[in-house]
Amino acid sequence: MSEKKQISIVVPCYNEEESVPIFYKAVCAVIRQMDRVAFEFLFVNDGSKDHTLQQIKKLAAQDERVKYLSFSRNFGKEAGIYAGLKYATGDYLAVMDVDLQDPPEMLLEMYEILQQGEYDCVATRRVNRKGEPPLRSIFARMFYKLINRISKAEIMDGARDFRLMTRQMADAVLSMGEYNRFSKGIFGWVGFQTKWLDYVNVERVAGKTKWNFWQLLLYSIDGIVAFSTVPLSIAAVMGLLFCGVALLMTIFVIVRTLLWGDPVSGWPSMICVILAVGGVQLFCMGIMGQYLAKTFMEVKKRPIFILKETNCEEPEQKD
């Protein structure tokens, strides 16, 4: 008989002391039904300020399948996913939130689908946005429409980070070593065959979400800057457009002066034009600034995360 395949479940956690044990129990109940597969939990403690790490260590002491990575400070969920995928040893890798918003039962179906060999990844998207402020939903929809228009990476509306993928795809994700990690874009960018499963949004079991509207807005700008250079082209096109308008207006003013003389007037309209042009210039500089800032962060080549402690073995280097 061939050796058992292994699934590693990567779980980024930030201040989730209440959710960790509930999550562990719920997932154990599911994986008991999957006796042909071995499992590994890989909790990533993303610099939590509560007792998340202690909770994880407690589980690790009882169950040798529980592995953990603990960061020196909060590096963000994206860094957590990256570190988890890097240290996980499984043939298949799952990414799951610890708040049980990602139904563990779906792992069964996901694994079945991957087994058939047609797909490299099974991902999930929620079909409704229940429990979310309406304004946030509207902006989210607009964001997905926009980014899919201006970027090559296919980014699914309502996609969650909950997914099960093959080692091959995970390695492709890891080969993208960028500092500004926008996971939804990265998963889309690497390609491979992805099957999407729909499910109805569930609310988190405990604790509260780490996102407010402002953070989501900044995050969406990060996503756009990371996966598209179209805003830069828009700035250039706007510049050209304004030059064209300026030329037409100059001709108009010269002709009018030659025909009818030059009575001094139009001061208010002049101010409007100056303000409009100034505004557009600042806007375009802001766009350039965004790209420059991201480039600045990338060229520093800072590590994506810093590990403080772990019970994992060093991953083998694949270059």
Judged by CB under 6 A, does residue 210 bind ligand UDP? Answer: yes
84 binds, among Mg ion, ligand UDP, none (CB under 5 to 8 A by kind): none
Quote the CA–CA distance of 290 and 166 in Å, as a whole number.
34
CB of 13 to ligand UDP, least distance (A): 5
Judged by CB under 6 A, does residue 18 bind ligand UDP? Answer: no
Which ranges of 228-266 does DSSP label H, i.e. alpha helix? 230-260
Return the half-sphere exposure (C-beta side, CA atoms, 13 A cut-off) of residue 74.
11
Identify which of residues 16 and 40 has a Cβ nearer to ligand UDP in the complex: 16
| Local structure of 67: helix, strand or coil | strand
Stretch that binds ligand UDP, among 8-16, 148-156, 260-268, 296-304 (CB under 6 A): 8-16
Q: Which of residues 74-133 bind Mg ion (CB under 5 A)?
A: 97, 99, 101
Judged by CB under 6 A, does residue 281 bind ligand UDP? Answer: no
Structure tokens at 185: 């874009």
Instruction: Compute the Cα dihedral for 238, 241, 246, 249 and give only its sign.
Output: negative
Mark 204-243 with x for binding to Mg ion (rule: CB under 5 A) and - for no binding.
Answer: x---------------------------------------
Stretch that binds ligand UDP, among 139-147, 203-211, 263-271, 286-294 (CB under 6 A): 203-211
Contact 29, 12 (CB under 8 A): no
Judged by CB under 6 A, does residue 14 bind ligand UDP? Answer: yes
Determine which residue in the list 77, 163, 184, 195 makes contact with ligand UDP, applying CB under 6 A: 77
Judged by CB under 6 A, does residue 204 bind ligand UDP? Answer: yes
Judged by CB under 6 A, does residue 213 bind ligand UDP? Answer: no
Contact 162, 123 (CB under 8 A): yes
In our burial notation (b when 16+ CB lie closer than 10 A, e otherwise), range 94-133 reads bbbbbbbbbbbebbeebbebbeeeebbbbbbbbeeeeeee
CB of 245 to ligand UDP, least distance (A): 43
Contact 59, 24 (CB under 8 A): yes
Determine which residue in the list 17, 18, 40, 97 makes contact with ligand UDP, applying CB under 6 A: 97
Contact 158, 127 (CB under 8 A): yes
Helix axes 213-227, 134-150, angle to 10 degrees: 10
CB of 84 to ligand UDP, least distance (A): 10
Stretch that binds ligand UDP, among 34-42, 70-78, 163-171, 271-279 (CB under 6 A): 70-78
Mark 33-62 with x for binding to ligand UDP (rule: CB under 6 A) and - for no binding.
Answer: -------------x----------------
Cβ count near 305 (within 10 Å): 22
Q: For 72-133, where are the E strands, in sequence order? A: 92-95, 121-126
Residues interacting with ligand UDP, by CB under 6 A? 12-14, 16, 46, 74, 76-77, 80, 97-99, 101, 204, 209-211
Residues interacting with Mg ion, by CB under 5 A? 97, 99, 101, 204
